[in-house]
Amino acid sequence: MKLKKGIPVIDQGDRLGFWGGKFGGNFVPETLKKPIEDLEIQFNKLKNDKNFIKERDRYFKNWIGTPTRFIKLNNLTKYVGGAQIWSKVVSDANGGAHKIYNATVHCLMAKRSGKKVIIGDTGAGYAGKMLSMAAKKFGLKCKIFMGAKDIKRQQPNVKAMKENGADVIPVYSGSQTLVDAVSECMRYWVANCDTTAMCVGSTVGPAIFVRICGWSTSQISRELKVQLINEFGDVPKKLKLYNCVGGGSSSFGFWNEFMDYDKKQVEFIGVEAGGPTKSKRHAAPLTYGSKIGILHGAAQYVNQNRDGQIEETESISAGLDYPGISPLHCFLKDTKRARYTAASDEEALKAYQIVTKYENLRPSLEPSHAFSVAIKEAKRFSKDTIVIINSCGDAYKDRGILEKKLGKKYVKSN
């Protein structure tokens, strides 16, 4: 299995949509073959259409507010005492997370194809919130599928979705989290694909959704590359990019522009959700050696039992609480381009405390996982190593959990 240079990773799949011959694909009911094919044709055309790119960039700039900041975390660097620690503050984006890029692109495409309704899944509520924002912006009706457990633990985002006029549909089946929300959303699409567009909230699902999402979030690394050159004159000789990985949309977007660099120069570190220390459950299929299976239309490493039933996950962060992982990351893992590890619930909370203590930055629980590993590893690195953490979400949505776990002061003081 080999990663090709000079070809975008999203375009390295084979005729049937498999990366490396075995990850991804289209394991979908016959009914979805046609809408998926339509979407493929539309996307392949639009991604090379200068007018569409212009339109996208205009919305990215004027509405999402690109570029997001790239800042040095001076106090944290001093506290850790090793590499220089920086952050790409993607949570600056309109709505507070990277999910806005994919949502915007899907809505632009839905509008062009004459669809009136767009549906989407959500875990932490960001994908849903952003889709509801974009749908409102582009005059589309919006339905968001969300696990009942996630609705309870991510109330601020649920409120935002409703305020944007979206229907939030609670999903009570299975573990009542993201995995069930995606299943229910796909089921709804099966029944309504003639009138309705679907946005999958991460780089997961049938191959075309993986590609559209990866293409959209790559905005993050496009900006970062420019910012690095402005700051250092060139891409630094020792660069390490840390990102949390749930479905894998923010990390893929954070890395994409640097794919062709030697990994000795630009290393990618993906941090999965290890779950509570005391629990056997986790959401880290790459770290803990899960087997390849089929989930939501794609072959990927996925937590499952011997028979092939998908296993329940457990993580403090709803956005990472997913048993599978993007086929793109399976591909990056097996080609050894990226390295994957996990942080536990407790480690993520600790990292959140450290970051908020030293910096005027408030990463949500998802990027707190990445901060945890970055802080640990940065100690060992030389001073000319540049460590960058993608702070891809804001902790506002987590205030209920943070208050419960850490006490009121961590919510109020921030």
State the residues that interact with other proteins by CB under 8 A.
16, 25-35, 173-174, 179-180, 183, 186-187, 190-194, 291, 293-297, 304, 306-310
- Count CB-CB contacts under 10 A for residue 116: 12
| Minimum gap (Å) between residue 353 Cβ and other proteins | 36
Rank residues 219 and 303 by Cβ distance to other proteins and give the closer one.
303
Rank residues 7 and 16 by Cβ distance to other proteins and give the closer one.
16
- DSSP SS3 for 63: helix
Phi and psi dihedrals of 242, rounded to 5?
Answer: -100, 135
| Minimum gap (Å) between residue 178 Cβ and other proteins | 11
| Minimum gap (Å) between residue 25 Cβ and other proteins | 7
Nearest to 150 by CA among 401, 402, 353: 401
Q: Strand 141-147 relative to strand 167-171: parallel, antiparallel, unpaired?
A: parallel
| Minimum gap (Å) between residue 299 Cβ and other proteins | 8
Q: How far apart are CA 128 and CA 201, in angstroms?
A: 8
Q: How far apart are CA 377 and CA 374, in angstroms?
A: 5
| Minimum gap (Å) between residue 171 Cβ and other proteins | 11
Rank residues 108 and 320 by Cβ distance to other proteins and give the closer one.
320
| Minimum gap (Å) between residue 294 Cβ and other proteins | 4
| Minimum gap (Å) between residue 180 Cβ and other proteins | 8
Cis-peptide into 67, omega within 30 deg: yes
- Please give the radius of gyration of the chain, using alpha carbons only, rounded to the nearest integer: 20
Rank residues 28 and 365 by Cβ distance to other proteins and give the closer one.
28
Torsion of CA 297, 302, 308, 311, to 10 degrees: -110
Taking each helix axis as running N to C, give the angle between helix 399-406 and helix 345-358, from 0 to 180 degrees, rounded to the nearest 10.
100
Find tokens 């990390």 and name the residue.
251
Element (H, E) at 171: strand 167-171
Nearest to 146 by CA among 163, 159, 133: 159
Rank residues 34 and 61 by Cβ distance to other proteins and give the closer one.
34
Rank residues 15 and 54 by Cβ distance to other proteins and give the closer one.
15
Contact 176, 200 (CB under 8 A): no
The residues, any chain, with a CB within 8 Å of residue 284's CB and separated by 6 or more, are: 272, 273, 274, 275, 340, 342
Rank residues 26 and 77 by Cβ distance to other proteins and give the closer one.
26
| Minimum gap (Å) between residue 109 Cβ and other proteins | 19
Rank residues 239 and 295 by Cβ distance to other proteins and give the closer one.
295
